[in-house]
Homo-oligomer: A and B are copies of this chain.
């Protein structure tokens, strides 16, 4: 049964709905994080969550629907944090520092997120629901946050005028690549894992680079 076929959907208490739905997403998140891979089967989800695998079809339609819902849940928290950040009484430079650290920490906290976004945003799927949905709940809130920080920083004289799109693409690419280039890191630099220390150094490096790039000379 697919989501949206509400006519035949059995009545359930709302709390149970939320809880089973979240349990399935948690099971997928933990399997993908452990494996550093998007490969899992619906029966593995069932085993991990203790729920019937038919519930995946019931709540999400299919595995892609489950993955999309997971990205949406992760993005929803990030969006709330970004809205909060925009509203703070704080210099734009400092807001941008916190914003960049939050993006990198988000990729770190959800080790499947980088690859999942690459797969769900695949060009070949350009007209699918997943691209439109991810644009709505992931890309657009990040762009909005960066536009606001830029606007404030340009108005205050901290930043030079900068195209928000160029900033978005280069900054997201830099943040994402630490998690996407793991096999290059191993092969070319002998780095076996992204330690806390490396993550902190990377946040400082990306932050310093982009703030220097935005600064008025």
Asked whether any CB of chain B lies closer than 8 Å to the CB of A166, the reply is yes
Which B residues are CB-close (under 8 A) to A115?
Answer: 123
Q: What residues make up the interface of A, taking CB atoms closer than 8 Å to B? A: 36-37, 39, 115, 118, 121-126, 131-132, 134-135, 139-140, 143, 162-163, 165-178, 180-189, 191, 201-202, 205-206, 208-210, 212-215
- In the complex, A191→B210 CA distance in Å? 23
- CB-based contact A191/B175 at 8 Å: no
| Distance (whole angstroms) from the CB of A170 to the closest CB of chain B | 4
- CB-based contact B189/A165 at 8 Å: yes
- CB-based contact A163/B131 at 8 Å: no
- CB-based contact A126/B183 at 8 Å: yes
- In the complex, A39→B205 CA distance in Å? 37
A201-B163, A205-B166 as given contacts; A173 in contact with B184, CB under 8 Å: no
- In the complex, A213→B208 CA distance in Å? 6
Please classify the interface of chain A as helix (H, G, I), strand (E, B), loop, or mixed, using the class held by over half of its residues.
helix
Contact of A183 among B131, B162, B188, B201 (CB under 8 A): B131
Which B residues are CB-close (under 8 A) to A139?
Answer: 184, 187-188
- CB-based contact B121/A209 at 8 Å: no
Which B residues are CB-close (under 8 A) to A172?
Answer: 177, 181
Contact of A213 among B118, B124, B191, B213 (CB under 8 A): B213
- CB-based contact B37/A124 at 8 Å: yes
A-B contact pairs, 5 of them (CB 8 A): A122-B183, A131-B187, A166-B205, A174-B177, A212-B212
Not counting A121-B183, A173-B175, A210-B213, a sample of 8 additional A-B residue pairs whose C-beta atoms are within 8 angstroms of each other reads A37-B124, A165-B189, A166-B202, A168-B189, A169-B184, A173-B177, A177-B177, A212-B215
